Amino acid sequence: MLAALVLASPATSQDVPLPDLFSDTIDVRVVNVEVVVTDRGGNRVQGLQVGDFELLVDGEPVPIGYFTEVGEGVARAARADADKPEDGSLQAVPSLVPDEPVRTNYLLFIDEYFAIRRDRDRVLKRLERDLAQLGAHDRMAVVAFDGRNVTRLTDWTGARDELRDAFREARKREALGVMRRADIDPATTAPDPPGVAASGPLAQNTLGGVESAPALNSVRRAATALNLSKRERQIQRSVLAATATVRSFADPPGRKAMLVLTDGWGVPGFNNPDPFGPPPPSIESIYGPLVHAANRLGYTLYPVDLAGLNPRLANSPFGIGDVSVGYNAGAGASSASAQPSPFAAPQGLNLEWSQDAAFGYLAHETGGLPMINAFRDIALAEAATDTRHYYWLGFEPPRNQNDELHDIEIRLAGHPDLQVRSRQSYLDLSRSAELTMMVEGSVLFGGAPGKETLAVRFGPPRRARGRKILVPMEIAIPLDDVELLPMGGRFTNELEFRVTVINEAGERSETPVEKIRISGATEPPPGVVFVYETTLLIRAHEHRYVASIYDPLTGAVLSASGTVGPR
């Protein structure tokens, strides 16, 4: 039995491997804050020094460790008379060379799941036209999400021909937004999502003198817990795909901007308010993963409204014309709080406000601009202009890795007439949360995180209630790849197990974390594997899965990926 388990082949990985950066956790030691400063007329203010800025984290002053002004895309050398700390603690941003161009990296995410072909192609043609606005050192990468998979149409490149080819390829691809519009429903609760639904392993086992303990964590169904409507679950799927994309393109040198091309994203509970039902989820609960990933990795978000303003609403009595609704270009804030009550507005206008407010949130929280209504036609040109002049600040926060969100505020001392725009927060992400994001990203991009050394075997499925099946799952963990420490006369470790699945429709399960306690009287000899047993509850059709084991002692990640279904 032991030999058979050792020789069992891991599940076949996907054809397209993940980028190397996505196969490991991302170590962010410096939080970058790009600050745009404007006067009351919206004009960029130049020549400020570090002494003009005050950085506050959670309301407390924090020393600025790095400071560089970027003007016309060039890193400006510090003036000789500039105010600097006497202890020499202030440095220029390490990746920037004085008087040299600063590369801007534009990550283009095309949400085909919500796009209407006509609107998507119109915006893509305008983006292609404005490629001339990119600097000689700038780069762009293009990806598309079809509701299930994220496809890389081109990696980072400055070659205009390659980018034009990518845009042409994008226009050939299917757009599924018509289906999303037909899917709008007033439901306030969601059926159980497909995928893992066991409360833990249904059996224990003993192998080679090493014992397993029951899982400590039961599966959480976030969709039900958050009370998401069908529409909100669909938005969440696209948001998580965009989040995985940000992480996959984590570390290009220079400034980083992400253009999110989509239609139909909105504020949770805004389209169908129910004053008598349970409260809707917060906007942060839906869009927070993308905002936090962008802020942590230094991306500024520029959400692009593919549809533009509904012409029937242009002359509405609510006063919305073909401009960004109430948007202040200097402050960069959404006007959602100043809008009339959605209960009093026509449904079409309600949807318009909902999307504008969602785009405003994404842009405001990351220091970007919402490209809504007429701005969709000049989105790349506006983003290029917006990233030409700014102040690049950096600081090294304490790292507690406790998943706590910290507020960032930038003030200008002695300049009450000036306005600042920057990212609003950073998330002190834990190793456990980051690994969950890696697994969820892998099931979208293909491949698996870490070393693919797990052997997975599925038993014959059994019928469950409804159209679901129970599938026994065995995971063979090579103990050569994990660490067992001698503690209390035994060799012990507590590993973390994660598994997530996605079906052909792109519906993904949650990713529970189960603890696997390994404890043996003697140190296991080389070549021994430990078998962990659990059960998946899935719908009765084929799913793609990604499973991972995390060793908290060494940081090692072991994984497997493949397909599971009724056969």
Average pLDDT over residues 430-440: 80
Confidence of residue 330 (pLDDT cuts 50, 70, 90): very low
> Helices (DSSP H) in 420-491: which residue ranges?
431-445
Beta-sheet pairing, 104-111 with 139-145: parallel
Scanning the structure block, which residue is given the tokens 């990212």? 423
d(CA 223, CA 195): 12
d(CA 420, CA 418): 7
**Tokens at 517, concatenated:** 């306690």
Confidence at residue 254, expressed as pLDDT on a 0 to 100 scale: 92
Confidence at residue 201, expressed as pLDDT on a 0 to 100 scale: 33
Confidence at residue 508, expressed as pLDDT on a 0 to 100 scale: 77
Written as one string, the DSSP assignment of 95-115 is T--TTSBPPEEEEEEEETTT-
Considering just the CA atoms, what is the radius of gyration of the chain in Å? 25
Confidence at residue 531, expressed as pLDDT on a 0 to 100 scale: 94
Q: Is the pLDDT of residue 390 over 90?
A: yes
Confidence of residue 413 (pLDDT cuts 50, 70, 90): confident
Where is pLDDT greater, at 204 or 81? 81
Report how far apart, in Å, the C-alpha atoms of 352 and of each of 272, 311, 318, 391 are. 13, 11, 12, 33
Confidence of residue 8 (pLDDT cuts 50, 70, 90): very low
**Tens digit of pLDDT for each residue in 132-167?**
999 999 999 999 999 888 899 999 999 999 999 999
Residue 91: how many other CB atoms lie within 10 Å: 14
**Per CATH, is 2-17+193-219+448-564 categorized as 2.60.40.10?**
yes
Average pLDDT over residues 297-325: 63
Count each helix (H run) and each strand (E run) in the chain, helices first: 10, 25
Confidence at residue 110, expressed as pLDDT on a 0 to 100 scale: 97
Q: Is the pLDDT of residue 376 over 90?
A: yes
Confidence at residue 12, expressed as pLDDT on a 0 to 100 scale: 29
**Tens digit of pLDDT for each residue in 235-289?**
888 998 899 899 889 888 899 999 999 998 988 765 555 556 566 678 888 899 9
Average pLDDT over residues 373-380: 92
What kind and span of H or E run contains 513?
strand 513-520
Burial label for 31, CB within 10 Å (0-12, 13-18, 19+), is buried
**Tens digit of pLDDT for each residue in 451-503?**
899 999 999 999 988 888 999 999 999 999 999 998 888 999 999 999 988 88
Where is pLDDT greater, at 24 or 43? 43
Percent of the chain with pLDDT over 70: 74
Q: Is the pLDDT of residue 88 over 80?
A: no
Average pLDDT over residues 72-92: 69
Q: Is the pLDDT of residue 123 over 50?
A: yes
**Tens digit of pLDDT for each residue in 481-493?**
999 998 888 999 9
pTM, full prediction: 0.75
Where is pLDDT greater, at 446 or 405? 405
End-to-end CA separation in angstroms for the chain: 23
Q: In this structure, are residues 479 and 493 in contact, taking their beta carbons and an 8 Å threshold?
A: no
Q: Is the pLDDT of residue 121 over 90?
A: yes
d(CA 436, CA 40): 44
Of the candidates 536, 556, 516, which has an alpha carbon nearest to the alpha carbon of residue 457?
536
Task: Please tell me the class of the 28-190+229-445 domain.
Answer: alpha beta
Q: In a 3-state reduction of DSSP, which class is residue 15?
A: coil
Confidence at residue 87, expressed as pLDDT on a 0 to 100 scale: 52
Confidence of residue 381 (pLDDT cuts 50, 70, 90): very high
> How does 131-148 read in b/e, with b if 16+ C-beta sit within 10 Å?
bebbbeebbbbbbbbbbb
Confidence of residue 28 (pLDDT cuts 50, 70, 90): low
Confidence at residue 300, expressed as pLDDT on a 0 to 100 scale: 97
Beta-sheet pairing, 299-305 with 255-262: parallel
Q: In this structure, are residues 28 and 388 in contact, taking their beta carbons and an 8 Å threshold?
A: no
Confidence of residue 26 (pLDDT cuts 50, 70, 90): low
Q: Where are the domains of the chain?
A: 2-17+193-219+448-564, 28-190+229-445
362-371, 392-401, 541-550: least confident range = 392-401
Where is pLDDT greater, at 169 or 331? 169
Q: In this structure, are residues 106 and 142 in contact, taking their beta carbons and an 8 Å threshold?
A: no
